[in-house]
Structure 1
Amino acid sequence: MPRMLTTNRERVRAMVACAERLGVPRGSGMFRQALQAVAFLSEDKVAAKLDYLKNTFRWSDAQVSIAVRKFPSVLRNSKESLNHRSEFLFFEVGLEPVYIAHRSDILSYSMEGRLRPRYYVIKFLKQNGLLDRDLSLYSAVKMTEKAFVEKLICPHKEDAPHLAEDYAAACKGEVPANFRFI
């Protein structure tokens, strides 16, 4: 953040102190993300964002702390973005608040480009008996695109011939007719 180079020392010290109060240690790999997340925000705005996270994701103080330590950039997400993700993860996927808190980086992924399409594929495969293991949405979204396609799309070319094109359409924001849920 080049802007930090021209910021006065007291403000930089305040940013560092705020990042540390979030529970992100200076030596950790997440510290830079924490600094970027709180940079140029007042203490009140950071507190308001933490409260919003707590209410939106039904997290306890401890769970908010865990989520922010694991993914400080969550503080940079808009309220609208967080709200859409919470609705999807709670009501459509059925995840629990504590699960999301411990895997808060799931909130960094695109709803339309990654979360929703991969959820549709997993749900389709499970409902049609094509998934031979219990795969979580989190594991699926962490996969690279290539690995996801190789492990979950290609092996089912015969049983689900439209799966690849349905997945591609879902990644464009469409809900294909061939994602038939039983």
Structure 2
Amino acid sequence: MAAAALLSVLRRNRLLPLFETCHLRDRLFFSSSVDAAAVTVGGTLSPDPHFMVEYLVNSCGFSPSEAAKVSKPLAHLRSTEKPDAVLNFMRSQGLDGAGIRKMISSRPTYLCCNVEKNLAPKFQFLRDFGLSELGIVDAIQNNNAILGLNLHRSLVPKFEMWESLLGSREHVVRHFKKRTWFFNQSVEERILPNLKFLTDECGIPEERVSMIVRSSPQFISQKPEALRDLVVRTEELGIPRHSQMFLWILRFLLMVSKESFDAKVELLRSFGWSESEFLSVVKQSPGILSLSLEMLRRKMEFFINEVAYAPSFIADHSNLLQYSLEKRVIPRFRVFEMLNTKGLWTRQGKFLHFVKLSNTKFMEKIVLPYKEKVPELLDILRVAGASMEFARPVAVLIRITIGLIAPQAISEGYTHYV
């Protein structure tokens, strides 16, 4: 499905056999537009071959040393007509001075582009595809190399390819705003081989592959040999290819080097976990692989030293390691301690129950019943609120305390400020 649709897109654009030559053609096309701009006579003329240094300083805000470096590919220019047009256009599109300097520094010959034929159509295409004006500016600033792509032979087909692969135009726009780098990835050398490997050789349904790609496009864009190595590493953990968790563990392993993985194994072993416990935890909660070594250490130490959980208990309830330490675990544990100290929490519930509750349920069931007897709870959560996880519940609770909101507003799902 996804692979077939992708093949259809590539065939429709006649790109499948020649896709890898696009980059070279783009460079040739772009160079031709640069040469055309270079011979244009108009604007401010200067016989001084170094006049671009002064121009870059005065027009773009470069320092003299930066301008001298940037001006080298522009030494053939004798007119400011093209640079003036490019700068005026970029400013009209919302790019600020820093963004323009970054763009010119990465490729000075952008100043030789023909605005009407080369730049304006690309901005219009991005608008038509669904990006906002601000989204286009952010995308250009994150990766201005897309301005060097030929619109019809490269930019449009690549957008269509990712739309087919990700399932919707909205998904493409969302990822494009964050990471335009995936537009530089080779279709024939990376994406298609990876899709075929996962679906044909590993037997993974395309729908499942698409789910991973939508959340992590770099997963399908990695080198095929790297993906095969990840599959081997995952199977060594005892995860069969037909397992529902297989792809998710592959995704997390992509973010963790072999050295980092081994270091985490050794760390958890030092806390008393057996190898079988570690493998069991990875199968249940692969997200712990994305934790830094230091954060993993801090969480284990807190649960063992402060909460007095045995390492085996943590392994059996590995979702504990997924919660934020500062935003969730520590504040709730301090509330738990306070209520126990006051002798108010006499029920059989344990801290595990505390930490699993949603913010709203935690406020409703644990905090509100004791807000009069233990006003210190507000101080504990106000500090946590500064880190945003408790910001809204605490704000609502304060309004309840001073009588602006009825207490039942929490249980009724109150979500707005007064």
Instruction: Structure 1: state its 5+ residue gaps.
Output: 174-182
Cα displacement (A) at 1:81: 0.6
Partner of 2:217: 2
Quick check: 1:101 aligned with 2:101? Answer: no
Q: Is the 8 A contact 2:265 2:278 kept in 1?
A: yes
Q: 266, 277, 281: which is aligned to 1:51? A: 266
Q: Is the 8 A contact 1:50 1:75 kept in 2?
A: no
| Cα deviation 1:132-181 (Å, max 9, x = unaligned) | 323232222221100111110001122213323332224547xxxxxxxx
Instruction: Structure 2: state its 5+ residue gaps.
Output: 1-215, 388-418
Partner of 2:294: 80
Q: 246, 251, 265: which is aligned to 1:36? A: 251
Quick check: 1:60 aligned with 2:295? Answer: no
Distance 1:8 1:166 in 2: 48
Partner of 1:117: 331
Q: Is the 8 A contact 2:256 2:289 kept in 1?
A: no
TM-score w.r.t. length of structure 2:
0.38
Q: 332, 352, 356: which is aligned to 1:142? A: 356
Q: Is the 8 A contact 2:255 2:290 kept in 1?
A: no
Cα displacement (A) at 1:31: 3.4
> Whose Rg is larger?
2
Task: Tell me whether 23-32 or 127-136 shows the greater mean CA deviation.
Answer: 23-32
Change (3 A) 1:156 1:26: farther
Percent of residue pairs bearing the same amino acid type: 33
Quick check: 1:151 aligned with 2:365? Answer: yes
Change (3 A) 1:34 1:124: same
| Cα deviation 1:63-106 (Å, max 9, x = unaligned) | 11222222112122111111211221111111100001111121
Quick check: 1:128 aligned with 2:342? Answer: yes
Q: Which has the higher helix share?
A: 2
Letter in 2 for 1:54: R
Larger RCO (CA under 8 A, 6+ residues apart): 1
Letter in 2 for 1:144: S
Q: Is the 8 A contact 1:70 1:102 kept in 2?
A: no
Cα displacement (A) at 1:114: 0.5
Letter in 1 for 2:295: S
Letter in 1 for 2:289: L
Cα displacement (A) at 1:45: 4.0
